Amino acid sequence: MRYSLFVSVLIILNVVCQSSDILPTQSQEIHLETLQDLDNELKEEENIVNESSDELDESTDPQEIVEETLEEIEILKFNINGLKLREGIISEDVLRLKEFLKAMGYEGIIEDYKYDQKTKEIVMDYQRANGLVPDGVVGEKTFTKINEDMEINKIFIPEKKIIFSMDEDQVNEEIPEGNFIIINKDSNTLYHLSNREIIDKYPVATGKELKYTPEGKFTIVTKFVNPAWGGAGRHKPIKGGDPNNPLGTRWMGLNIRGGGVYGIHGNSDENSIGRYVSLGCVRMFNEDVEALYDLIDYGTPVWIGTEEKLGEYGIRFIYE
């Protein structure tokens, strides 16, 4: 604005000075009058800008901006009917629980997926402070109180997201389209994706030793409702549909030795979910595997590994 005015004035003065009909003294008077008008206009413009800035400063309360921003953030609450967290559980929810406890001022917390003895002790302190039974188990009542505290204190704890790339600039073209299953052995979490978007995720149990659950890129080659269990060469076989059948209500076999050795299946012991306990298969809650079973077709890719191994395939787990 100021530059335009200045240029305009110069043009006017140039025209005035070159006019042969105006005497030098008249030209000087015009110069002075024009410059005075310009100075007045510039001062007037500065006053307008300053007034606008003052109005903005007076009407904008930084605390109000922060509060409004926090209100717009959706608090990602825990599923009160989900996996119960107790000592020995390996889960993404354990990591989120630890982040919550840190936000509440508790110290000495190791940020990982494992619910250890220290975590149990801190949870018991939290339960005692909030009139809950101090048993160290995070179930419906404790989750409900945690969700309330997250809402009251505006504690936002993100969930792990998946990105697919070999580096920051290169998209991994090998990632399957359509239905796709990723199993993170570090967090005992199964992700169901479609077109590279997470549809749902489920807590699972994996091998009692790291090597038991195979790592790699597999596909679903067998599917059974109420599968029979052969006893794994150690026990008496159990027919399909029996509540004591360790395979539960569904089986989705991987393309390893025909699809009947390693698979994703249900369970007969809900307390095993979230732990390292199996002989190599991936266990799910029966209601979870039933829901997933209906969505998964033969040939669906299943990639299994630790976060380090999956990282080799261009899969990364990040907070977002």
Q: Tell the residue number behind the tokens 């989705």, with chain if given.
A: 252
**Torsions phi, psi of 312, nearest 5?**
-65, -25
Token digits for 79? Answer: 């599923």
Distance CA 288, CA 133 (A): 29
Run of H or E including 74: none
Q: Which of 17, 192, 235, 265 is catalytic?
A: 265
Helix or strand run (H / E) with residue 34:
helix 24-59
Pair 136, 121: CB distance under 8 Å: yes
Structure tokens at 234: 């150690």
Based on the residue annotation, tell me whether 281 is a catalytic residue of this protein.
yes
In residues, how long is the chain? 320
Q: What is the DSSP string of 149-191?
A: HHHHTT---PPEEEEEBSSSS-B-TTSPPSEEEEEETTTTEEE
Beta bridge partners of 98: none
Q: Which residues have a catalytic role annotated?
A: 265, 281
